[in-house]
Structure formats: structure tokens, C-alpha cells
Amino acid sequence: MIPFRLLNDASAAALRRCLSAARSAPAAAFVAVLVAVSVAGGIAGAAASAGEPRPQPVKLIFDTDMDTDCDDAGALALLHALADAGRVEILATMVSSHYPYSAPCVERINRYFRRPDLAIGVPKGKGAPIDRGSRYARPIAEKFPGQLKTNADAPDAAQLYRKILAAQADGETVIVTVGYLTNLRDLMASGPDEHSPLSGRDLVRRKVKHYVCMGGRYPEHLDPGVFGNLKPDPESALAVARDWPTTIYFCGLGDDVMTGEPLRSEGDDNPVRRIYELYLGRQPARPSWDQIATLFAIVGPEPYWQLRREGYNHIFPNGTNQWRAQPDDPRHVLIEWKPGARDRCRALIDRLMTHRPGKEVPPVPATE
């Protein structure tokens, strides 16, 4: 008998119709049906013996500033590609910036990838200043269709985090930040509400599997004049590094992984292409800090990265940082390259960033 459970729904339904029709079919037609059945059975058998079952999608909340650099847009494109591949379930696309067009920009990218209803939350209290502006967020918000006009139209991120986390099973949600840590500070400071009787920190402890933070450079980054995700809101960075109750994977990789050039061949309807054009001008590519952290959050360390579990990430009051050997903090883990992995990772990132909705997604390493 054909193992229908190994076929997709459409194939299984079509096969059942063929078998039903074959009961009254002439002999030649019946033979043709048998051939089709045999082919389908062979395909199913190959699928069953191809190796491990397809990984369950990672339940993930993506948190971005989407204002001062274009790699946030590249990371969001990569995220949608992996969602189309069935590797991740996007629970929300949070925004950590107060820049008024950051949330609308995120919404426009979500809409291009056919997920216009993804939840978006923004900080409603203090956080990073907006004086650095954005080269692309407002032009994208004004050029492409969407519902959000400014950040003011989006709900409070901390409350949205609480609502989403409370609805998930214990210990299954992954969070990745590729922007400021403002929303996570606000989440941990939140109290019981209609969504959960737990404090914010206890809710995180119960619901979050781990957290991936794109922030800082390693082994140290002591120049306060060079911006990064920890410096615009250092108070939040300090609070999260100190008080977050589950594992934090810190990532500062990407300086030497230049991506984005293939986006130039994409269509005018692609907002990610336009973001890179607006940000880069005539430059061909940009480092991939945010894409690397996002990819790690979904696929895990293999085959590109190794983990340093000794030591901790010391964050100074101005948001600079230094990885120190002592005292050891088991919550803090540093992501490092495996030898020879950079080029392979770069190629995959470029392929995922140029994924078009409805098209086939390039092969992605299995989750460890």
C-alpha cells in the first residue's frame, strides 16, 4: 500500500482520486495508474530514507532597530526566506528604535514577503535617541504600501512580548535582537497583566529557550565613538546582560562578510533592494552582522560556528564591551567562526537575501 503520509496533501489527494477512478478504468488506463502509483511510492520511499525528518520550525521573535544600517533589512529578508523554507515560524517582528518610520519600514518588508499581518511592537518609554536618523526608513515607508504610518500606530513592544510569550509552550521561543536592547529591558521590568500572572523576568525564564544578541565586538570594543547596538541605549544593554535569566549567545561577527551586491539585480518591487541602494549608494556590499546572528538563531552553530562558554561579556556604562575570562557566567556564550566557514556562510546569506516570495529556497544546513 502507498504510504500516503509521506506525500504532501495535494499529491496524496490526487493519488487517491486515481486509485478510485482505476476501479472502473479499462485495462490500459489501469496500467497507467499503476505506473503512477509506483512512481509516487518510489518518491515517498526516497523521502523516507533520505535521512532525518525535516527539522521543526524554530519559534522566533525578531527584534530590530531598522534605522541606521541596511543589514537589518538583509536579516529580515533572510528570516522570511527561512520561514518560506519551513525552518522558522516568525512570531513577531519587533522594533527597538524610536525613529518614527522604522516600524512602517519593517511592515513594508513583511508585506513584500506576503506576511503583512505579522505583529510589530515598538518601545513606548525611554530608549535610544533618534538623532542619527535613517537613510532609508522614511522613503521605504512612503514608497511601498502598508497600514502603519509611523511608530505611533504600533502597539507597545513589551506588552506584545508578554502576549506572545504567554501563548507559547514553555521553553520553546527563541529571541534574536539585531538592534537595541530596549524592548527586552522593558519586558523584564513588566509586571503581571491579563496575559500572564508572572513578572517579565519570570515569564522569560519560563518561555524563552535562549536569546541571541547581535551586539558588541570581540574580544573587546572599547571605542565609545564607534556606534554599535549596545551603545545607543547602554542602560538597557547593562540590565539585560546582568539580569536575563536564560542563555544569551553574543555575536559580533560580520565585519569581513560582505553581502548585498546580488540585490542589485532584483526587481523594483523589492524594498530590501531599495534599502541597500539608498544606504550604500555606489558601494557594492555591506557587512553582515545582523544576518549572521539571525541565521545562527535559526540553524544553530553547525556548520559555521563554534561556541566559547568560558567567561562573560562585560559591558561598561557607555555601552562598550569586553569579553573577560573571570568570573565565568554560564548564561553568557560567545559565537566564533569555525575555520574556513566565512565564505560558505557569506554565499548562503546572499542567496537567502535575494529569495523571492513564492520561489524555491536554497538548501540550508540542518538545525543542530
> Using one digit for the tens of pLDDT, what is the confidence trace for 272-281?
999 999 999 9
Task: Give the count of beta carbons closer than 10 Å to the beta carbon of residue 259.
Answer: 28
Nearest to 133 by CA among 270, 279, 291: 279
Identify whether residues 129 and 220 lie together within a single domain.
yes
Asked whether residue 39 is domain-assigned, the answer is yes
Residue owning grid cell 541571541:
212
CATH number of the CATH domain containing 268: 3.90.245.10
> CB-hemisphere CA count at 13 Å for 59?
13
What's the pLDDT band for 24 if we cut at 50, 70, 90? very low
Identify whether residues 123 and 68 lie together within a single domain.
yes
Nearest to 291 by CA among 183, 211, 182, 212: 212
pTM for this entry: 0.86
pLDDT(10) > 60: no
Average pLDDT of 116-143?
96
Identify whether residues 34 and 94 lie together within a single domain.
no
Share of the chain above pLDDT 90, in %: 82
Identify whether residues 292 and 215 lie together within a single domain.
yes
Identify whether residues 40 and 96 lie together within a single domain.
no
Asked whether residue 135 is domain-assigned, the answer is yes
Q: What integer pLDDT is reported at residue 362 of this predicted model?
A: 84
Domain count, the chain: 2
Q: What integer pLDDT is reported at residue 367 of this predicted model?
A: 62
Nearest to 260 by CA among 70, 81, 82, 112: 70
Residues 6+ apart with CB under 8 A from 174: 58, 59, 60, 61, 208, 209, 210, 211, 212, 297, 298
Identify whether residues 44 and 163 lie together within a single domain.
no
> Using one digit for the tens of pLDDT, what is the confidence trace for 312-354?
999 999 999 999 999 999 999 999 999 999 999 999 999 999 9
Identify whether residues 24 and 69 lie together within a single domain.
no
Asked whether residue 131 is domain-assigned, the answer is yes
- Scored b (16 or more CB within 10 A) or e, 156-190 reads bbbbbbbbbbbebeeeebbbbbbbbbbbbbbbbeb
Identify whether residues 160 and 182 lie together within a single domain.
yes
- Full domain range(s) for residue 323: 58-353
What's the pLDDT band for 11 if we cut at 50, 70, 90? very low
Task: Say how far apart CA 251 and CA 305 lie, in whole Å.
Answer: 10
Q: What integer pLDDT is reported at residue 37 of this predicted model?
A: 38
Question: Of the given ranges (86-90, 250-254, 362-366), which has the lowest mean pLDDT?
Answer: 362-366
